[in-house]
Amino acid sequence: MGVSDARLNRGRPRRAVGGGASGYAICSFFPEFAMVNHNFFCDEYEVAPNVHSRYAAAQRLIRPSEVRHLIRIVPRGLLPILQPAAAVVANVLTRRFRTRELRYIKDPPGRDVWRSPAATFRRGGGDCEDLAIIGMSIFELVGIPAVLVIGQLPTGGHAWVEGQDEAGRFMLEATDGSVTRVVRPAQYRAEQFIGRDFCQLAA
């Protein structure tokens, strides 16, 4: 989809998902949950429209520990039918859209504020970057290679997630929980790929 396999797999070592008796799978997990006010460095960053500012914000705000309550990791073999990881993450998001735990909330005019998963849940939603950061945090938690993509739609700037799971390449539209396979839809024009510890401009 525009970013190489080498880039998708670059970064901190991650536990492999799938394959072999020691593999793991993930499934949706929806307990009653009261959000804790995590004492991390900062939950919100006002981002300038440049590569460095976006990269720095993503490194600070993609937080697997803040989405651990959304899923559980299950030893492979305990579940008879497993969904690919992208479908599981999509289900996590769509369920919370239906229950109104999350909704699309625009940033104030003239500002681009990115939020951590905890801040987005406390607020009751967020814009495309905030929701994509939730998706990125889940994928990192379960060891699925993924990148935050900054780009354009015909309506303006946008952010989404791309990666590779057990079923192959995917694109997650975090604002509605939809998943596209193999080919990115033509209206999505990628400009920047941000992963854990790397950043790449689109060709």
Q: What is the CATH number of the domain that holds 117?
A: 3.10.620
Distance (Å, whole) CA 95 – CA 177: 9
- Indicate whether 35 belongs to any domain: no
The number of domains in the chain is 1
What is the span of the domain harbouring residue 146? 5-11+42-198
pTM for the structure as a whole = 0.77
pLDDT in tens, 99-141: 999 999 999 998 999 999 999 999 999 999 999 999 999 999 9
- Indicate whether 189 belongs to any domain: yes
- Indicate whether 68 belongs to any domain: yes
